[in-house]
Chain A
Amino acid sequence: MEALIDLLQQNALTPREDIARMLDLTVAQVEAEITRLEQEGIILGYQTIINREKWDTDAVTAVIEVKITPERDGGFDRIAARIAKFEEVQTCYLMSGGYDLLIIVEAKSLRGVAGFVAEKLSTIEAVQATATHFRLKTYKENGAFHHFEHAPERLSVSP
């Protein structure tokens, strides 16, 4: 059901009737398949992509590199879960390379991020070091451009 997932990823609000026509299925089949994907935890949820230059413009997004000391039992998982549970943390990845966790944090203000790093993140014993980068501008997000390319102009009828 790769095609169904592709369609939902492009636009989860695509009417089920349209999806059915495109995939050559009935609406009931499409709905059953979506339910199955949700129940099996393949689809975790549906979200909107917001243009931050138009909405909630004061919100701050930071990308934080975190070095941690892994534990003998469980490696990075327990500590990563502990960090990921903070509400400010939108995304948390274990990375290869010069640091261990990459986390994306959203807060209402610069001070909010600073407070989170100083009081929450850095005080966790396993956290050795952090490096915080602030987002200045978004060009592309989740595959969607913020400044769309104009559709190419075409002749209205051509052979």
Chain B
Amino acid sequence: MSIAIAETVKDIPRSGIRDFFEVVQTMGDVISLGIGEPDFATPWHIREAAIYSLEKGRTGYSSNLGLPRLRRAVADYVQAHFGVRYEALSEVLVSVGVSEAIDIALRALLNPGDEVLYHEPCYVSYAPSIVLAGGVARVIPTRSEDQFVLQATDLEKAITPRTKVLMLNYPTNPTGAVMPPEELARIAAVCVKHNLVVLTDEIYSELTYDGGTHHCIANLPGMQERTVLLHGVSKAFAMTGWRIGFVCAPVELIEAMMKIHQYAILCAPIMSQEAAIEALVRGEESMLKMRREYELRRNYIVRGLNDLGLECFKPHGAFYVFPKITSTGLSSREFSLRLLREKKVAVVPGSAFGASGEGHVRCSYATALDQIKIAVERIGEFCGELAAEKAEAA
């Protein structure tokens, strides 16, 4: 018997990253700039806090919304870092990573046919999550000339009477783009004018460089009541495997999300919640140390790639650079596959993050500097060989 898969699921394409991952898996010895997570292990004091809680036998369920201590820590952290106040016990929900939070937020918000706007290039899960929640995904491409910052004018043009939600992700995976406060204010004004809900994935908010600070859209006039703030400990505290995210939103939406969360997930793992408390309350120093390291690597890789003629703006956030590879004459997929086969360096084709990522590749600098150094050298050799090939053909 062949099992009939639901039409919505059938229609969702496989992630381009997964395809690529399978090619990389077949090869040994690859230097990977393709990894979207920190290369550091979780700081020891955070791991130790989890061990302590296990020793104490804290191994049961927690409240559906998450441990009250964690929710208080989240509310305090969000107030200190984002300048927005949320009621710890009613406006905060602890999720299994931001990924789950995106899913339950969309499911709690959308009626069939409601439109959700999102900017591209973007994280791979946005469009599928919208579709799985019964929504219609509407893309707004961003441009490298704008350093991939969503423009309020483009947003306004994309709005239709069915538009309900705008998804934002600054700093952005895969481009490293950061939203300047002036443009953010214009976007907020458009959202208020057209009565949009904003789902803002701010998972990279701590990782901003050059002394810049992160600006949270919930902080702008008229926004907190229409903002779903999504954040977590994965990137800033090198805790991807712990799977802890959190949502701050108005109480009625938290209640609605909680209904889905409690039936689908019940609660986030308690040992991870204990670790997250330690991270939020005492993790600042560890986070700053990792951020300093990322910033140095970013400087190294940006200059290295530009020196090779791969035009690359200096991203102010996250841990990705998104160089333009059109000068090589290859598509981003060809470039990535050939670089992998010929030089054993893995980067992710920009097209995996949406059509507007074509012509670019994503290089993650959450990789040790000695690896980055070899990778840049090999990319240099590769570009040299491509140029020679071209010259021969001409």
A24 to B209, CA, bound (A): 13
Chain B residues near A155 (CB-CB < 8 A)? 21, 35
Are A21 and B303 within 8 A (Cβ)? yes
Count how many pairs of residues, one from A and one from B, have CB atoms less than 8 Å apart in the complex.
Answer: 62
Closest to B210 in A: A24
A9 to chain B, nearest CB (A): 13
Chain A residues near B346 (CB-CB < 8 A)? 156-157
Closest to A25 in B: B299
Chain A residues near B297 (CB-CB < 8 A)? 22
A151 to B42, CA, bound (A): 11
Majority SS at the chain A contact face: loop
Closest to B353 in A: A159
Judge if A149 is at the interface, Cβ distance under 8 Å: yes
Chain B residues near A3 (CB-CB < 8 A)? 292, 296
Judge if A119 is at the interface, Cβ distance under 8 Å: no
- Against B, the Cβ 8 Å flags (1 = close, 0 = not) of A129-155 are 000000000000000000001011011
A157 contact from B21, B125, B296, B300, Cβ within 8 A: B21
Judge if A33 is at the interface, Cβ distance under 8 Å: no
Residues of A1-52 at the interface with B, using a CB-CB cut-off of 8 Å, are 3, 6-7, 18, 21-24
B195 to chain A, nearest CB (A): 32
Judge if A158 is at the interface, Cβ distance under 8 Å: yes
Judge if B354 is at the interface, Cβ distance under 8 Å: no
Are A154 and B39 within 8 A (Cβ)? yes
Are B17 and A158 within 8 A (Cβ)? yes
Best-surrounded residue of A21, A22, A156, A157 (most CB of chain B within 10 A): A157
- Given known A-B contacts A6-B292, A149-B41, A154-B35, A159 and B299 have beta carbons under 8 A apart: no
Are A156 and B25 within 8 A (Cβ)? yes
A159 contact from B32, B125, B368, Cβ within 8 A: B125
- Given known A-B contacts A3-B292, A18-B369, A21-B304, A156 and B299 have beta carbons under 8 A apart: no
Interface size, B (range) = 20 to 34
A17 to B123, CA, bound (A): 34
Judge if B250 is at the interface, Cβ distance under 8 Å: no
B206 to chain A, nearest CB (A): 18
B373 contact from A7, A18, A24, Cβ within 8 A: A18
Judge if B15 is at the interface, Cβ distance under 8 Å: yes
Are B32 and A156 within 8 A (Cβ)? yes
A112 to chain B, nearest CB (A): 36
Are A157 and B24 within 8 A (Cβ)? yes
Chain A residues near B21 (CB-CB < 8 A)? 155-158
Judge if B34 is at the interface, Cβ distance under 8 Å: yes
Chain A residues near B369 (CB-CB < 8 A)? 18, 22
A156 contact from B24, B296, B373, Cβ within 8 A: B24
A7 to B125, CA, bound (A): 37
Are B35 and A158 within 8 A (Cβ)? yes
Chain A residues near B24 (CB-CB < 8 A)? 156-157
Closest to B373 in A: A18
Chain A residues near B15 (CB-CB < 8 A)? 159
Residues of B10-52 at the interface with A, using a CB-CB cut-off of 8 Å, are 15, 17, 20-21, 24-25, 30, 32, 34-37, 39-41
Given known contacts A18-B369, A152-B41, A154-B39, what 19 new A-B pairs fall within 8 Å (CB)?
A3-B296, A7-B296, A21-B303, A22-B296, A22-B297, A23-B299, A149-B41, A151-B41, A152-B40, A155-B21, A156-B21, A156-B25, A156-B30, A156-B346, A157-B32, A157-B34, A157-B346, A158-B35, A158-B37
Q: Which residues of B contact A (CB under 8 A)?
A: 15, 17, 20-21, 24-25, 30, 32, 34-37, 39-41, 123-125, 173, 292, 296-297, 299-300, 303-304, 346, 348, 368-369, 373
